[in-house]
Amino acid sequence: MRYLYLLLVLATHSMTPALAASAFLPTELVSIKEATCKRIAAADTTTDITTKRDPRIDFPAAKGKGHIDVVLRPSFQEWRVAIVTVSDNVGLPVVEMRLARDCKVLRSRQITRRPDGKVSKITDLDTNFLPTDKVEIQDPVHHFTAKAADRNPANPRIALVDTGINYTLPAFQNYIALGSDGHLIGYDFWDDDKWPDDSDPRGNIFFPMHHGSTVFSVLSRESGDSTISIYRFPAEQMCRFSTLLTHIAKTPVRVVNLSMGSDEYEDWQCFETAASNLPGLLFIVSAGNNGRDIDVDPVYPASLALQNMIVVSSADAFGRLGQRSNFGKQHVDLLVPAEEIEVIDHRGARARTGGTSYAAPRISALLGRYLAKNPAASIDDLIAFLRSRAIPSSRQQSKYGWIPDPTDDFGF
């Protein structure tokens, strides 16, 4: 897809101290919108700019308050939406507005930051760039209530490593592992704080993706009385996985769920080293949703040669491989039904989804329940149990076959 990328440096008034968090007044944003639309309309200066994101057109700066990035989609000639990112004078994104060809505001959002520069909230704005009551608080402070399961010295048995979860949702409270200090057991290794809130801003900081909450909803629903510790993975410093796994190893956790992956082996080298040095942990990893044979075209960490790892892919209710689920006779161990599964998202809304991200937590939960009945089981015992539950298949898609109903306690 080809689209236009413009860099507009526009004149605005100087920032007052009272507005340091938002950087731009609503009236300034209206002026920015109008100036942007005029620049886009000046087609004679930009008709040759059709390559992806580059080259850029620089417009003269005025008073140095900030700049604007404009992406036209799907292309310059046929654009339907202008995505306008307004950044402050140190380059931090503050507002995103999405404009139609008639300069109508389709949607806009504003970021408020803490003194350390981290995002504290994302607010929807109206068409005049005034704040609405739709606000997403980032890393909300939450006071947890201890429960009987937290007094069980065998808990937490399971750790979730993902994009975090919405730990304020009432539906999640009975399953979040708490320490003696009353705070959740886990950590945010992305932001380096104790609030592993569900957010992945890599694609768009104004509209972060949310993944961990839905995975947690499947894991918690089937995990019995096993509580779950929560870790937000270090996406921007993947070698911090070593510290993350060391943190997990200091808890009672035996099973670690990772519903994630990438094509780059380099991303996972530090994880591989750390995991191989922790034989007391069993890693349950999703196979990925690329529709490919990962024996031939690897995905990581699923394609790593770790002895303490089980790779899970998704099947339908009849054991047939999911439409986009990865497979591999050598690197995929099990298939589990996870194509149409109910989840709770980060808002607390119920939905149905599917894929290998939701197959993995079904196996993690099964092992959590098994460990509750067999607390002395070794990692080899856990793997042997899974093999005993698997039904072999003539299809060359996994090593052991599929488990039709992972909620069944057969074999405990």
How confident is the model over 52-72, as a mean pLDDT? Answer: 57
Whole-number pLDDT of residue 88:
86
pLDDT digits (tens, 9 = 90+) for 131-170: 999 999 999 999 999 999 999 999 999 999 999 999 999 9
At 219-271, the pLDDT tens digits run 999 999 999 999 999 999 999 999 999 999 999 999 999 999 999 999 999 99
pLDDT for 396: 84
Question: Strand 186-188 vs strand 228-232: parallel, antiparallel, or unpaired?
Answer: parallel
Distance of CA 345 to the CA centre of its chain: 12
Helix (H) or strand (E) holding 387: helix 379-389
**Residues sharing a CB contact under 8 Å with residue 161, sequence separation 6 or more, in sequence order:** 231, 233, 244, 256, 257, 258, 260
pLDDT in tens, 257-311: 999 999 999 999 999 999 999 999 999 999 999 999 999 999 999 999 999 999 9
Per-residue pLDDT tens for 170-215?
A: 999 999 999 999 999 999 999 999 999 999 999 999 999 999 999 9
pLDDT of residue 64: 61
Overall average pLDDT of the 387-412 stretch: 94
265-291 burial, b at 16+ Cβ within 10 Å, e below that, comes to eebbebbbebbeebeebbbbbbbbbee
At 79 the pLDDT is 83
pLDDT reading at 21 higher than 70:
no
Enumerate the β-bridge partners of residue 158.
Answer: 228, 255
d(CA 220, CA 224): 8
Quote the percentage of the chain above a pLDDT of 70: 89
Contact 274, 241 (CB under 8 A): yes
DSSP run (H or E) holding 105: strand 105-113
Query: The whole model's pTM is what?
Result: 0.89
For 2-13, the pLDDT digits (tens) are 333 333 333 333
- In sequence order, what DSSP letters do the residues of 222-286 get, joined into one string? TSTT--EEEEE--TT-GGGHHHHHHHHHTSS--EEEE---BS-GGGGHHHHHHHHT-TT-EEEEE
- Map residue 250 onto helix, strand or coil: coil
Report how far residue 243's alpha carbon sits from residue 76's, in angstroms, rounded to the nearest whole number. 46
> Whole-angstrom Cα distance, residue 393 to residue 400?
8
**In this prediction, what percent of the chain has a pLDDT beyond 90?**
77
C-alpha radius of gyration, the chain, whole number: 24
Token code pair at residue 2: 């080809």
Q: What residue ranges define each of the domains in the chain, with the CATH number in brackets?
A: 4-137 (no CATH), 148-402 (3.40.50.200)
Backbone angles phi, psi at 286, to 5 degrees: -75, 145
* Confidence band of 45 (pLDDT split at 50, 70, 90): very low
Which pLDDT belongs to residue 91? Answer: 85
